[in-house]
A and B are shown apart, each in its own frame.
Chain A
Amino acid sequence: MAANPELKQKVEELLRENPVLLFMKGTPQMPRCGFSMRVVGALEQLGVEYGAVDVLPLLGPLREVTGEIADWSTFPQLYVNGELVGGCDIVEEMFESGELAEMLGAEQPQHAEAPGSQAPPNPQQSPPLRVDQG
Chain B
Amino acid sequence: MIERALPGAEVEVIDETGGGDHLRATVRAPQFAGRTRIEQHRLVKNAVQARFDDGSIHALSIKCATPGKPSR
Contacts and interface: CB of A to CB of B under 8 A. Distances in A.
Contacts, number: 23
A32 B56 CA distance: 24
B62 A89 contact: yes
Which size bracket describes the interface of B in this complex? Answer: under 10
B22 interface: no
A13 interface: no
Interface string B14-42: 00000000000000000000000110011
Contacts of B61: 89
A93 B38 contact: no
A90 interface: yes
Closest 5 CB pairs of A and B: A90-B37, A86-B38, A84-B38, A89-B61, A86-B37
